[in-house]
């Protein structure tokens, strides 16, 4: 991968998208600070200086319909990377990385893709990891490595994260088992808001390429995308 570093940029995902549209591939865009960081569902993503804000642009050998596995892979890579600095994190479906009893958010992932039929043209996996930042600079419910274990070596951690992600993208069949090992969602009562409805029930399984299986009491439902809340 070519590494493109910015002290400050609106959004590494937006920059990666420019590179994708220019025909580039295998690029990692990194920034110390983002001034217009974006989250899922068009939310803003606080990205003060000191975090790990990065976007990996590639063209993995996956059909577009399997792209969700890349998002789960990224969550696994984040959990495994932060383990190396002594932080035990878990994953809320599909890809929120949370820590502690009160499930504070440590990292989020935003995936973008283009492609049709049987081939992904490009895939951008954007990862925001609250590293050396004050939790006060983050939204309520979020935390940072600084708050948990003190400041970390961002270079080493970013390298571990990107290596792990690259490994997982090359072995998509390994992802669900690793994801399940770190899941906070399976076995929980959940409320999932999809584009068209709200489904409440027990999360019983995750299935390729990343769907959540919910036992509602009136049968099983499988959701491919949505906002998930843990109920108890």
Site string for ligand BTN, 198-217 (x = CB under 6 A): --------------------
Size of residue set near ligand BTN by CB under 6 A: 21
Which of the stretches 46-54, 162-170, 189-197, 199-207 binds ligand BTN when contact is defined by CB under 6 A?
46-54
Residue 156 and residue 188: Cα distance in Å, rounded? 34
- Residue pointed to by tokens 């606080």: 46
Touching ligand BTN, residues 92-121 (CB under 6 A): 96, 108-110
Question: What's CA 122's distance to the chain center, in Å?
Answer: 17
Distances (CA, A) of 56 to 41, 121, 188: 20, 14, 31
Q: For the chain, give me the number of helices (H) and strands (E)?
A: 5, 12
The residue among 157 and 201 lying less far from ligand BTN, judged by its C-beta, is 157
- Site track for ligand BTN across 52-81, x = CB under 6 A: -xxx--------------------------
Task: Quote the least distance from Cβ 54 to ligand BTN, whole Å.
Answer: 6
d(CA 126, CA 20): 13
**How far apart (Å, rounded) are the C-alpha atoms in residues 165 and 76?**
8
Decide if residue 13 touches ligand BTN (CB under 6 A): yes
């Amino acid at each position: 991968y070519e590494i493109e570093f910015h002290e400050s940029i609106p959004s590494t995902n937006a920059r990666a998208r420019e590179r994708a549209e220019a025909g580039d591939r295998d690029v990692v865009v990194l920034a110390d600070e983002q001034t217009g960081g974006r989250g899922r569902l068009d939310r803003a993503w606080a990205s003060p200086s000191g975090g790990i804000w990065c976007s990996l642009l590639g063209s993995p050998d996956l059909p577009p319909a399997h792209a969700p596995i890349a998002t789960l892979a990224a969550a696994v890579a984040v959990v495994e990377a932060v383990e190396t600095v002594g932080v035990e994190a878990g994953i809320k479906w599909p890809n929120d990385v949370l820590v502690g009893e009160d499930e504070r958010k440590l990292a989020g992932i935003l995936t973008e893709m283009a492609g049709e039929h049987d081939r992904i043209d490009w895939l951008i996996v954007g990862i925001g990891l609250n590293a050396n930042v004050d939790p006060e600079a983050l939204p309520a419910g979020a935390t940072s490595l600084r708050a948990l274990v003190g400041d970390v070596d961002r270079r080493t951690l970013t390298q571990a994260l990107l290596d792990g992600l690259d490994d997982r993208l090359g072995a998509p069949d390994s992802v669900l088992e690793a994801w399940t090992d770190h899941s906070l969602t399976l076995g929980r009562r959940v409320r999932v808001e999809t584009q068209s409805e709200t489904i409440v029930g027990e999360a019983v399984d995750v299935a390729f390429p990343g769907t959540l299986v919910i036992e509602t009491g009136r049968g099983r439902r499988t959701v491919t995308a949505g906002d998930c809340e843990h109920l108890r």
